[in-house]
Amino acid sequence: MKKIVFLFIFIFLLTGCSSPGKKSPGPVADKSVKAGSSSSELEDESMDALEAEDTAIVISLDSEEKQIVLQNSSGSKRYELTYDGRTEFFDSFGEAIAGFQVNSGDIVNVRMSVHSGYLKSLQISPDVFTLRNVSHYTFDVNKRMLSVGKDNYRLSERTLLLFSGEPGEIKDICPGDILTIRGIDRTVLTCTLEKGHGFLKLMGEDRFAGGWLEIGDTIIRISKDMLLTVPQGDYDMRITYKGRGGVKNVSIERDKETLVDISDLKDELLLTGKVTFNVKPADARLFINGEETVKMLPVELEYGVYAVTVKSDDYDPYSAYISVGKPEAEIDIDLTQGEEEEEEEETSSSARVIDYSQPSEVARKDSSSSASMMAPLPPAGVDTTRPSSSSATSSSAEDEEEDDEDEEEEGSEVEPDETNLLFIDDPDDVEVYYDGSYIGISPLNIKKEPGTHVITLRKDGFATKSYTITLSDEDKDESYEFRDLVPIE
């Protein structure tokens, strides 16, 4: 009798348990056994029944190979799953979608088979906020904060920046890049690059040195050996110099250099336009390129770029660049009271912010709808009144020499130059461009200018790369090391 009972228990254990020694990490699905199933089929069904759930970030999805790469949202663990026609995909509202509608950077809730690595279901998390195609944003690295308009969001240690499915850093983002931002509870989890930037290099620019180049939201003086970082897209690039110049159609591709010959523009005669300035308060004085101008009448100007300043007692001065490019235009300028503006300036200057907001918004702040004539202000940290950073350094040096001469005449001692420096250490033996101007071959150093700057690295046979950096106003040198350039295949 005992032998019969033991045999019955043994048979029960053998037929009623799956894979001895393995425990399910999640709920167990349907355990029913189909009639006629083989032992291998029974084992596969039992393995697939072991499920787990996770909230994860989509790194990439290959709809042809039916594979998806995910990263745990609360850690850095990355894993790959397969899927097929049985896998269920849902949007944040629970409506069915196709797998190809899932994007890199999406934050999703997934249900998977643990042992087989099979994706059973995926839903875009309903708890996620999504900001699509954002072009006006500000990163504050020190405070770990991202501002979009008037809204602030936290950057965590695990905030993931994705560039075509590959991880990146904040310094990889350049002015004009367009992002999609996703997160939970005002904490940013992913920033995905939707539209990047390429590079513009001029040929035949010697005849226009000291003139102006306008492309998109960028206005900059032309200097020799320029390499500009420009958002990808199609543009009408304008060149102006002493009443001559013209327009070139330019297409900028992402992460690629575009070479444009402007030597054939030297004989084109530019037209003139009449600009009417509507300035408040009424007693304000208008200056164009440093010369006071009667603001009551339209001003006739050759097509090109002009520095405009408006001044009045008890008001903050207003400065901007205007781009004259059509027969007639009106520009409204409304000065602001000094105190309010000072407070704003103190607040912004104390927060050492990396500002990637498009300059055109700044230029339009005090302008009417006719402000299409209003040229964008230069990106933060770029002084377009100077031909290049190298010329700016020499200009500064000349000023210092004049000051030194004055001190020597007065009999005072000349203090040693204690200018802080910016060092570019790595990679070695590459061309370095500072805000579009060539400054030499790395490693090198230049005078440190506090603010936001774009560093571009170039070498024949390698992919050109740009980085955005912010230099502090602290009395100390700063050094940067960047990744090696990638060979062009």
Same domain, 278 and 330: yes
- Counting runs of H as helices and runs of E as strands, what totals does the chain give? 5, 35
Boundary-marking domain end, from 195, 213, 238:
195
The count of residues in the chain is 489
Q: Tell whether 244 is covered by a domain.
A: yes
For tokens 């060979």, name the residue.
487
Write down the pLDDT at residue 417: 52
CATH number reported for the structural domain that contains residue 305 in this entry: 2.60.40
Sheet with 437-441, side-by-side order of all strands: 437-441, 431-434, 451-458, 465-471
What is the span of the domain harbouring residue 77?
A: 47-126
Same domain, 327 and 401: no
Q: Give yes or no for a contact between 363 and 331, defined as CB atoms under 8 angstroms apart.
A: no
Same domain, 188 and 211: no
What is the mean pLDDT for each group of 10 consecutive residues in the chain (489 residues)? Answer: 40 36 36 39 53 93 94 88 96 95 95 92 95 91 89 92 88 93 93 95 90 89 92 93 85 95 79 87 90 86 86 89 83 78 37 36 31 37 35 36 44 56 94 94 94 93 93 92 92
Same domain, 180 and 208: no
SS3 39: helix
Same domain, 191 and 202: no
Which token pair is 125? 């998390």
Write down the pLDDT at residue 49: 58
For tokens 């420009």, name the residue.
230
Which token pair is 298? 């339209």
CA 338 distance to own-chain centroid? 32
Same domain, 296 and 224: no
| CA atoms of 237 and 327, how far apart (whole Å) | 18
Boundary-marking domain end, from 108, 126, 144:
126
Same domain, 464 and 436: yes
Boundary-marking domain end, from 171, 195, 219:
195
| CA atoms of 374 and 324, how far apart (whole Å) | 8
Residues of the chain by 3-state class (helix, strand, coil), percent to 5? 15, 45, 40
Same domain, 470 and 397: yes
Q: Give yes or no for a contact between 90 and 76, defined as CB atoms under 8 angstroms apart.
A: no
Write down the pLDDT at residue 240: 86
Tally the domains of the chain: 5
| CA atoms of 292 and 468, how far apart (whole Å) | 37
Ranges of H-type helices in 35-135: 39-48
Same domain, 216 and 182: no
Same domain, 469 and 395: yes
Q: Tell whether 41 is covered by a domain.
A: no
Q: What is the pTM of this model?
A: 0.68
| CA atoms of 245 and 266, how far apart (whole Å) | 6
